[in-house]
Structure 1
Amino acid sequence: MTTQTAGERTEEDEDRPGRTRPPWARAVIVAVVLAVVAAAGGVLWSLDPVRSALEDSFTRRPSEFTELYFTDSPHLDGATVLVPLAVTDHGGGGATREVEVTLESAKGEKLAVDTLTVRTRPGVESRTVAEVPVHAEPALVLVRLTGRPQALHYRFGEGNAIG
């Protein structure tokens, strides 16, 4: 007779068939793995860069499009609001774009509207600064490309741009 300490396997143990799991155990393991994968997928989908990359992989993007964006935060300089922005045409032959800049008060009243023309070249950022005179404290800057869906909003005091 041999002495066996806890946790040691003997030659007799090697001859015995291995432990088998109950039939429901595999289903539980699969369910747990699927739940973890689903939760991880949900977390990843909530991240903008991941969602954008995934959408690019299964969404057909137009071959020609125009970008409109702030190059810096709009700010008040005396009685003038300076709105630094850029327009970039992608995939086209370039064009002349009209950009409308509207300033609104905290109550939603239009304080000033200015339209400027930006000449673009394909794939090249065309920067400009809209200088809009104003006689009252603006709360909101609205920028849009005339005849296009692109628009930007900037709310003074909060320091955030929303495209």
Structure 2
Amino acid sequence: MNARVPSLRTLLATALLGVGALALLGAGLSAGGRTVLRQSFTEQPRGYIELYFTDPPGIGSGLVTVSVALVDHGDRQTTYQLRSLLKDSTGGVTAQTTTSLAAQPGRAARAVVRLPAGADPALVEVDLTDHSQTLYYGVGGPPPAAPGGSP
């Protein structure tokens, strides 16, 4: 029998392939490795918009002061229209204004809006025109009844 002994080069190449395979397996099993693999095969969501009150709306000197911030988690600068409404306890709009906010990606754009309080302020409503996000905050009297008559 003529047994052939593998050369040193063959043994080294086999060892390197084995180490490489183990490294790939380890990366696939680690949390970071799984995340990278998942992201490479999955469509990632587009940017999103974060809208929030920076302070609770308050009443003082006949005005309702509303402080809000907007963060655009997209990749380009955009100007948004922010609509602020003040409603009374019957749900009627007593004051309204629209403010432009220029947002830079990943940075908070802030606005302070002042609305005349009127006689019966109950609810502050802030939304982005052309978007589905709306914030609500009860001020003053009881909040208006929800559509359908129940709170």
Percent identical residues: 36
**Candidates 124, 130, 146, aligned match of 1:147:** 130
Name the aligned partner's letter for residue 135 of structure 1: G
Q: Which runs of 4+ in 1 moved over 3 A?
A: none
With the length of structure 2 as denominator, give the TM-score of the two structures: 0.61
1:80-113 deviations in Å (ceiling 9; x for gaps): 1100000110023021110000100011111111
With the length of structure 1 as denominator, give the TM-score of the two structures: 0.57
Gaps of 5+ in 2: 1-42, 142-151
Relative to total residues, which structure has the larger strand share, 1 or 2? 2
- Measure, in 1, the Cα distance between the counterparts of 2:128 and 2:114: 16
Q: Which has the larger radius of gyration?
A: 1
Aligned counterparts, 1:64-143, within 5 A = 64-143=47-126
- Measure, in 1, the Cα distance between the counterparts of 2:134 and 2:96: 15
Aligned-CA RMSD value:
2.0
Contact (CA 8 Å) 1:111, 1:136: kept in 2 or not?
no
Residues 155/91 of structure 1: CA separation in 2 closer, same or farther (3 Å cut):
same
- Measure, in 2, the Cα distance between the counterparts of 1:96 and 1:132: 22
Name the aligned partner's letter for residue 109 of structure 1: G
Q: CA deviation at 1:131?
A: 1.1
Number of corresponding residues: 100
- Measure, in 1, the Cα distance between the counterparts of 2:136 and 2:44: 24
Gaps of 5+ in 1: 1-59, 159-163
Name the aligned partner's letter for residue 113 of structure 1: Q
